[in-house]
Amino acid sequence: MNKFLKGGIAGAVGIVLLLGGAGTFALWNSSANTDAGTIAAGNLSVVASSTAGSWTVNGSTSRATMTGYKVVPGDVLVYSKTMSIIATGDNLVATLGITPASILATSTSAPADVALAAYLTKTATLTATGTGISTGSAPYTVTAGAAGVSQDISVAVTITFPKSTTAGFENDTKLGSVNLNALAVTLTQK
């Protein structure tokens, strides 16, 4: 092939390549900044205080722990604790509640533990009072407070060991044990 033919082919290929990009020629355009400012996210958290909570049994007996106490059907146990919440956001509304599934059988392979956990889970309720907490019953509505300001609240988890009118109904819970170390109060945005 002679040099002129090779040069002509290369030139034709170059022209085809240039024409292939014909739709990408720049047109006039312009842009301007809007000075829209910044956006900052709020916060939502619940934290247990370092002060130990306390138990009451059947409305009168106060105990620091339940270690050594043997519950029986009909007992009503109330755990009280101070917690802090931070709810920051212009349109923030959240609910405060309890996670009943956090009442755990001490051993999942022990039928009495599993049965006791199931009984107590069904009856666990939460009461709460404090700034920004709605009145009434759980789940409580929590409204936003001042930015970054912690609000102390008082929570009480009531666990009732049901007492059936049917003799022997609770027998499957005898000698059962539950672990309440993971008992959880939740704060969830609506």
* Residue 78 phi, psi dihedral angles, 5° rounding: -125, 125
**101-112 tens-digit pLDDT:** 899 999 999 999
Sequence ranges of the domains in the chain: 43-189
Residues 6+ apart with CB under 8 A from 47: 83, 84, 85, 150
pLDDT tens digit string along 31-88? 999 889 998 888 889 998 888 899 999 988 788 888 888 999 999 999 999 999 888 8
Beta pairing partners, 122: none
User: What CA–CA distance (Å, rounded) separates 23 from 26?
Assistant: 9
Query: Could you tell me which of 102, 78, 98, 81 has the C-alpha nearest to residue 160?
Result: 78
Angle CA 65–69–53, to nearest 5: 15
